[in-house]
Amino acid sequence: MSTEESAVGSPRAAATSSRRLTPEEVHDLARVREAVGELTRADLGRLQIAAKTLLRGFRIDPRRRTHRDLVSEAVTRTLSGERQWLKRVDFQHHLFRTMRSIANLWRREVARERAVRSTDVKLGSLEDHPNLVDLRPNPEAALIVRETVEAIYRHFADDEAATAVILCMSKGLRGPQICGVTGLTQRQVTTTLERIRRYARRGGDNE
Amino acid sequence: MNREPRSEEKDLENVLRGAAEPVESGDDSRDWAKELDNILGGAAEAVFESSDEEIEAELRSYGEDPDAVAEDLRGVLLDAIDRFERSGRPVRMRPSSRPVRGPRLPS
């Protein structure tokens, strides 16, 4: 590809792009577009389900971010280099890991902001005090996160198997390990995980 | 005769004890954010263990059409790439192209 050609990554994008891209940038953009093109219907379905699950509790988000914002932000962070796409990781797993990290960050951010709002500090809007959320110690933020976890346990309180699976997951155990510890079959664990995702969708997205 | 609990049983006891005690005692040392990430992240990550058919069935059970979901999400991904390109921000996917941060150490 010539340098002239390399100035254009995508015709749509190039229409308003103010900067000539290097050949490496054009190559990297093409690589990501190609990876998106290779995602199957099921791959994209997985990513949508995962994104919506990760956003549990985001109806409280004042910015009203949705799973689309999460997916979009994952792409932005990949292209900007904030999250490196390792060659040994396929694109959908990379996107998932990036989304998980962003969702975790957003969740903490939202909890902090809600906590600050609830303390009646009478300092005007948060936008006037961009550093406030990072500087103030706020046990209220931890309480909001704790309430979300406790709500999950409460929802499944009548189901012993589901509670055991959630307890295991909260400690970072995964499928086969959960089967080993609880004595549940893989099918039972899979069904429980699907129920957690279903529960998460109901209280998650801002749509 | 009392038998020694198997290691899996001990693990479960530890897991159950570790999760349950702080709730009752009000222990503030419990990392709730980490737990929430483990639960939601774990449930989300498990979609990669499901077959294509199971994923599409799960979507349908939510009342969603897998074709429409795929088209929508692919559009979101491509739009994000286009938007980034239009923004004029440098594409920094290669480790060597990352800016060096912070002062250099004296040699």
pLDDT of A75-119, one tens digit each?
999 999 999 999 899 999 999 999 999 998 888 787 777 666 655
CA distance A127 to B105: 37
First to last CA, chain B: 69
pLDDT of residue A145: 80
Residues of B in contact with A104 (CB under 8 A): 33, 37, 41
Global confidence as pTM: 0.78
pLDDT of residue B44: 95
CA distance A68 to A74: 10
Could you say which of A86, A114, A140 is where a domain stops? A140
Size of interface A-B (CB pairs under 8 A): 227
Residue B78 belongs to a domain: yes
Structural contact between residues A45 and B66, judged by C-beta atoms closer than 8 angstroms: yes
Can you read off the two tokens belonging to residue A40? 């199957």
Residue A13 belongs to a domain: no
In the predicted model, is pLDDT for residue B19 greater than 90? no
The predicted model gives B80-100 an average pLDDT of 82
Number of domains in chain B: 1
Number of C-beta neighbours around residue B41 at 10 A: 23
Number of domains in chain A: 2
A178 and A118, same structural domain?
A: no
The predicted model gives B19-38 an average pLDDT of 66
In the block, residue with structure tokens 């199971």: B54
A106 and A74, same structural domain?
A: yes
Structural contact between residues A103 and A148, judged by C-beta atoms closer than 8 angstroms: no
Half-sphere exposure of B29 (CA within 13 A, CB side): 4
Could you say which of A90, A113, A140 is where a domain stops? A140
Record: contact B47-A49, CB cut-off 8 A: yes
Q: Band of the pLDDT at B47, cuts 50, 70, 90?
A: very high
Record: contact A196-B43, CB cut-off 8 A: yes
CA distance A49 to A10: 29
Residue B3 belongs to a domain: no
Residue A74 belongs to a domain: yes
Among residues A151, A178, A85, the alpha carbon closest in space to that of B42 is found at A178
A120 and A44, same structural domain?
A: yes
A90 and A27, same structural domain?
A: yes
Coil, strand or helix: which one is A160? helix
Residues of B in contact with A10 (CB under 8 A): 81-82, 85
A100 and A54, same structural domain?
A: yes
pLDDT tens for chain A, 207 residues long, are 333 334 445 665 555 556 788 999 999 999 999 999 999 999 999 999 999 999 876 555 667 789 999 999 999 999 999 999 998 999 999 999 999 999 988 887 877 776 666 554 545 555 555 544 444 445 676 777 888 889 899 999 999 999 999 999 999 998 889 999 999 999 989 999 999 999 888 765 445
A107 and A58, same structural domain?
A: yes
- Closest-CA residue of A relative to B45 is A50
**Host domain of residue A108:** 21-140
Residue B22 belongs to a domain: no
Residue B77 belongs to a domain: yes
Measure B4 CA to nearest chain A CA, in Å.
Answer: 16
Residue A6 belongs to a domain: no
A181 and A104, same structural domain?
A: no
Record: contact B82-A13, CB cut-off 8 A: yes
- Closest-CA residue of A relative to B79 is A72
Coil, strand or helix: which one is A73? helix
pLDDT of residue A106: 87
Residue B81 belongs to a domain: yes
Coil, strand or helix: which one is A159? coil
In the predicted model, is pLDDT for residue B89 greater than 60? yes
A188 and A128, same structural domain?
A: no
**Host domain of residue B77:** 30-88
In the predicted model, is pLDDT for residue B20 greater than 50? no
pLDDT of residue A147: 85
Residue A118 belongs to a domain: yes
Residue A165 belongs to a domain: yes
CA distance A104 to A57: 11
Residue B40 belongs to a domain: yes
Cβ-nearest to A193 among B20, B43, B66: B43
Going by C-beta distance under 8 Å and a sequence separation of 6 or more, which residues neighbour residue B10? Answer: none
